[in-house]
Amino acid sequence: MCGRYVINAPEDLSERFQIRQLTLNLPSSWNVAPTTEQPVIVENRDGEREARIMTWGLTRRWVRSGARKGPAPINARSEGIGDKPMFRDLIRTRRCLVPANGFYEWKNLGDRKQPYYITVTDEPLFAFAGIYDAWKGENDDVVASYTIVTTQANDRMASIHERMPVIIRQEDEEEWLDRSVIDAAQIERLLVPYPGEAMTVTPVSRLVNNVRNDGPELIEASTEES
């Protein structure tokens, strides 16, 4: 799964993701949590990439105003995603890249959970596979939200957690965003575990457990691991 991640250089999105105009003024975050607003990369109707701010946790558009709302999914399992009513249209028509410098995962040690910070070794800024939705709500306010697609853990991650976010290879990002790509088999081909040998896993402090903590010290190597 993916429940927290890091985006500490939003100003780098323009060059890394080939965005012509980046108008977002965003703070860095070393502890991105669900329900917060974060940048995602989409392809617009003109075929150009743009960065948009959306809420992490996919909001169900069919829930009426005032009705009891269920949890907004922060992750969507890749297995069978094209058959699930909530995701099947979005995976074909509303795919996005979720920029990140790394993400956290927790290993159950019995009496406690040890957090790890996971990065792509040779890519300081990469992207998760995401899907999103957006529509006008009350007072014509735009409701825009996203979820991160997950897959089975690779060999490096399996000892920590059985799931991991889908990381889109840089050479596949154009295909992932391409609005003309609607074939299920072509899309699912991209939803695979990133190679374990290309990732770095570092034990970090349990300070990251508290969403109120947010600073570069959260990604520093820790001696708490046992």
Instruction: Give the tens place of pLDDT for each residue, 168-217.
Output: 999 999 999 999 999 989 999 999 999 999 999 999 999 999 999 999 99
pLDDT score of 65: 52
User: Higher model confidence: residue 60 or residue 35?
Assistant: 35
CB contact set of 139 (below 8 Å; sequence gap of 6+): none
Maximum C-alpha span of the chain: 53
Q: Does 99 fall in a domain? A: yes
Domain assignment present for residue 56? The answer is yes
- Would 224 be classed as within a structural domain? no
226 lies in some domain: no
Q: How far apart are CA 28 and CA 178, in angstroms?
A: 28
Specify the range with the lowest mean pLDDT, choosing from 18-22, 35-39, 123-127.
18-22
pLDDT in tens, 58-116: 987 755 555 555 678 999 999 999 999 999 999 999 999 999 999 999 999 988 899 99
Rounded distance between C-alpha atoms, residue 7 and residue 159, angstroms:
25
Domain that holds residue 149: 5-62+72-219
Domain membership of residue 190 (yes or no) is: yes
3-state class of 5 per DSSP? strand
Task: Round to whole Å and give the CA distance between 101 and 107.
Answer: 20
Q: How many domains does the chain have?
A: 1
Examine residue 23 and state whether it is found in any structural domain, yes or no. Answer: yes
Q: In what order do the strands lie in the sheet with 102-108?
A: 29-32, 5-7, 102-108, 113-120, 199-203
Strands 5-7 and 29-32: antiparallel
Instruction: Tell me whether residue 189 is in a domain.
Output: yes
pLDDT in tens, 111-156: 889 999 999 999 999 999 999 999 887 777 788 999 999 999 999 9
Residue 172: which CATH number? 3.90.1680.10
Catalytic residues: 2, 105
Q: What pLDDT sits at residue 8?
A: 87
- Sign of the torsion angle spanned by Cα atoms 36, 37, 43, 48: negative
Collect all residues with Cβ–Cβ distance below 8 Å to 14 and sequence separation of at least 6. 21, 22, 51
Q: For residue 146, is it within any domain?
A: yes
